[in-house]
Structure 1
Amino acid sequence: MASSSAEASARAPTTGSVAAPAVSIDPALNLDDDRDSAYDSEIASYTTSLATSVTAYKEHAGRRFHAYKEGSYIFPNDEKEQDRLDITHKMMEVAFHGPWRAPVKNPKRVLDLGTGTGIWALEFADQHPESDVLGNDLSPVQPRWVPTNVRFEVDDIEAPWTYSDKFDYIHSRALYGAIKDWPKLIDQAYENLAPGGYAEFVDLKISMQSPDNSVTPETSIGQFNSTIVGLAQEMNQEMDPGPKLEGWMKDSGFQEITVKRCPLPMGTWPKDKHLKEVGAWMYLQTVEGLESFGAYLFSVKLGWSKEEVDVFCAKVRADLKNPKIHGMLEV
C-alpha cells in the first residue's frame, strides 16, 4: 500500500490581547464540602459507565477496535497497532529530520490531536518542560504514568471544542480515515489558537503512487489500495487529506503557511541514502499494518472472515518484498 502525505504548519494572525471579563460567583454556589455515601455512589455510577463505554472494545477479523463512538475510526487500537503507530512516529521523524516542523518557541499550552500512543506528546513535553501538553484520542491506550506537564484525555476532536484557554501550538498527524469534516476540524484549531500561535498538520494521501508504474491494478498491492480507499470513501472517511491541508488552512484564515514534502518510498530501492532509511521505516510500518488497514473494512463492509483477510494480506506482503514493484508516497 502506498500513501502520500503532506505536512502544513501555519501561524495564527497576531492580534491585540483582550482582557477576560470579571467573573462573579453566585453565593448560592459556595457550598460546603460535606458529602454522603449516596452522593459518592451517584458520581461513581457515572464514572463507571463512562469507563465501561470507553473500554468495551470490539473485535473484527481478530483485531481489537475502540468502543467510544464506534466506527468513527476504522483502524484498531490493540498492541500490534500501537507498535505500528510508534514505528510511524519514527518514520516521520526520519523523514522530517525531527518530530515537528513548526518553529515554536517556549509554547505554554500544546494540544496533540488524536494522540494515539502519546509518543509525540511525551517527546515534545520532555524537550519542552515549560509546556503543558494535552493529548486527546478516542482510545485510552496512552501510558498511565507520565511527566507532570503531560496529560491525556478521551475525546472526539470532531465534536465542538470546549477549552477555556487557547493553545500556543496545535499538532495533528496521520488522521487519514478518522475525520469526516476536515474544514470544520481546521476551523476549530484556528479558533482555539492563541494569537501568534502555530498549527501543524501532517497527513497522508493513501491513493497509490509508483514512479515507474510498477504498481498496476493487477497487483495485489494495487487491489488492496484501491479497495481500502473505495470502502473508506463510502463511509465518508477522507483517506487523502494530505494534499488538501494547505487549502483548508487558507480557508480557515491561517497566515504564513509553509508546506514541506518528502518522498516516502515503500522499501529501500531508492539510491539516496536518506530516502533508503525513510523507505525502510515505511516498509516496516506497512508490513506491520496491513491487517490494521483492512481488518475493519474487509470484515465489516465486505463480510470477509479473518482467514480471507489474512490470505489477501499475505499476497500484498509478497508484492512488498518484490524488488520490481516500487510503491511510493509523499509526506
Structure 2
Amino acid sequence: MSRIQHTERPHHSIPSSQYVLPSDELERQRYATTVSACSYQRYYCRLQLQHEVIRGAFGGALLFPCVRLSSNDQVLDSGTGTGIWLLELAAQLPPTVRLHGVDIITRLFPSTYPSNIKFSVEDVTRLPSSWSNSFTLVHQRLLLAALRKVEWPMAIGEMYRVVSPGGWIQLCETGSWRAGPFTARFQSLMRTLLDSKGLFMDIYKAMPLVLRNAGFVDVRVEVIQLSLCGAEGSDDRKFVSYCYLIHYITYESFLSSITRNMCNVFRGMKTPILNVGGFGFVSSEAEFDALVNGVENEMENTASAQKEYFLFCARKPSL
C-alpha cells in the first residue's frame, strides 16, 4: 500500500518502540479539553484528562483497596508520562516514601516535583538489575499502544522481579468501546494498525494469565463499564460522585471531555495509518478525518455508547 498524502505529525524514533501516538508539542498542549461548570472552566491536557478519567472511573481512588504503603516503602510508576499519578500519590503519603517514575523519553516529565520523587529513562522490559525486590508497589497503565505482544510477558516478568516479596503490582488498561457503525469500523482499523506493529489490543483479556504465569498470586480484576452518553448504573454513579466532589463539574461535561479525549487519541494515529495506505479502511486524509468525526458523533449521541476499563492487582508471594 502506498503512502497517503496528509499533514504529517512527528513520532518518536526510538528503534525498539512501536508506540503509535505522536511525540509533538501538539500531543502535549493542543489536546486541551475544556470542562465547563457554572461560572468557571477547568483545563486539561490530554494526558491529564486521561488520568482524571481513569481515577474517576474507580471512584477517585489511586490505589487498589488491598494495597497498603508504609513510611519507608518504595513505589515504581512504569510508563509514568507526566508523572501525574506519582504527584497525586505523593500528596497522600509521608515524604519518607520514595517514588520513582520511569518512561522511555523525558519529554513529558514534570519540571518541578517533591524531593522524594525521582524520574529516569528506563525500558520496562529491561529494568536495572539493582532494583530486584525493591518496590512495595509497581504501577502501570495504558501501555496497550506501546508494548508488543511478545513484550508483555517480559514487562510483567521484570515487574515481578523488582517487586519486593509480599508487594503488589497494579495495572490499568482499556477494554472495548462501542457506539455504532463508525465506532466499529474505527475499532477494526485500530486493531489492524496495532496488529501490524505486533501490539496487543486484547491484553486486557490475557492479563490475568500473564500475571499468574509470571508468578503473581491473589490476582484481582475490576471492570468498569462506563456509559458515554449519560449516567446509568453503579459504575457511572461512582464517576458522578467523583466529578461533583472533586471537581464540582457536571457528569455530562466530563463525559463530553472523555469522548473528545478518546477521539483525539484516535486522531493521533493518523500518520502511522496513512503512511501505510490506510489498510483499506480509508483512502484519503479527508476520509480518515470523517471517520473519526463520525466516531465522536456516535459516542456523544448514542444512548448505548460505552467504554470499558480494567484494573488488575496481583501480589508477589512472601518469602
CA–CA separation in structure 2 for the residues paired with 1:300 and 1:70: 19
What corresponds to 1:134 in structure 2? Answer: 100
Contact preservation (8 Å) 1:132, 1:150: yes
Deviation at residue 269 of structure 1 after TM alignment: 5.5
Pairs within 5 Å for 1:50-61? 61=7
In structure 1, the residue matched to 2:185 is 223
Alpha-carbon spacing, 1:249–1:167, altered in 2? closer, same or farther (3 Å): same
* Residue of structure 2 equivalent to 1:201: 171
1:65 Cα deviation after fit: 2.2
1:188 maps to a residue whose letter is E
Distance, in Å, in 2 between the alignment partners of 1:270 and 1:280 is 15
Of the three residues 149, 158, 161, the one matched with 2:125 is 158
Q: Cα–Cα, structure 1 residues 291 and 92, in superposed 2: closer, same or farther, change >3 Å? A: same
2:145 is aligned with 1:177: yes
Number of aligned residue pairs: 263
Q: 3-state SS of the aligned residue for 1:63?
A: coil
Give the corresponding residue for 2:40: none
Distance 1:290 1:88, change over 3 A: same
- Structure with higher RCO (Cα < 8 A, 6+ apart): 1
Offset at 1:322? 2.4
- In structure 1, the partner of 2:238 is 274
- Give 1:89 shift: 0.7
Cα distance in 1, alignment partners of residues 189 and 209 from structure 2: 27
Amino acid at match of 1:131: V
Q: Is the 8 A contact 2:77 2:138 kept in 1?
A: yes
Partner of 2:37: none
Evaluate the alpha carbon distance shift between residue 131 and residue 262 of structure 1 in structure 2; reply closer, same or farther with a 3 A threshold: same
Structure 1 residues 260 and 327 mapped into 2: Cα distance closer, same or farther (>3 Å)? closer
Q: CA RMSD in A?
A: 2.6
> Is the contact between residue 187 and residue 252 of structure 1 (CA under 8 Å) also seen in structure 2?
yes
Aligned equivalents of 1:118, 1:193: Cα separation in 2: 20
Q: Residues of 2 paired with 1:108 and 1:117: CA distance? A: 22
Matches within 5 A, 1:107-146: 108-128=73-93, 129-140=95-106, 141-146=108-113
1:325 positional shift: 5.4
Shift of 1:267: 3.1
Q: Is the 8 A contact 2:259 2:300 kept in 1?
A: no
In the TM superposition, residue 329 of structure 1 has moved relative to its aligned partner by: 2.1
Q: 1:103 aligns to what?
A: 67
TM norm structure 2: 0.73
Deviations 1:138-194 (A, max 9, x none): 221111222111121222222354334521110011111211121111111111111
Does structure 1 conserve the Cα–Cα contact (< 8 Å) formed by 2:17 and 2:147?
A: no
Question: What does the per-residue CA deviation read over 1:234-274, in whole Å, with 9 as the maximum and x for residues that have no partner?
Answer: 21101121222211111111122222221122332636533
Report percent identity of matched pairs.
25
TM-score calculated relative to the size of structure 1: 0.71
Partner of 1:45: none
Amino acid at match of 1:291: R
Which runs of 5 or more structure 2 residues have no equivalent in the other structure?
A: 1-5, 29-44, 241-250, 311-319
Secondary structure of residue in 1 paired with 2:193: helix
- Please state how far the C-alpha of 1:279 moved relative to its aligned partner: 4.5
Other structure's SS at 2:258 match: helix
Name segments (4+ residues, structure 1) moved above 3 Å: 60-64, 77-82, 271-282, 303-309
Q: Encode CA deviations 1:49-98: one digit per residue, 9 max, x unaligned.
A: xxxxxxxxxxx844342233365211123345342221111011111121
Q: Identify if the C-alpha distance between structure 1 residues 330 and 121 changes in structure 2 by more than 3 Å, giving closer, same or farther.
A: closer
Contact residue 232 and residue 238 of structure 1 kept, 8 A = yes
Alpha-carbon distance change, 162 to 295 in structure 1, aligned in 2, over 3 angstroms: farther
Alignment of 1:1-331 (within 5 A): 61-69=7-15, 71-82=17-28, 83-97=45-59, 98-101=61-64, 102-106=66-70, 108-128=73-93, 129-140=95-106, 141-159=108-126, 161-164=128-131, 166-180=134-148, 181-205=151-175, 207-209=176-178, 215=180, 219-268=181-230, 270=232, 273-274=237-238, 277=251, 279-280=255-256, 282-292=258-268, 294-302=269-277, 306-324=285-303, 326-331=305-310
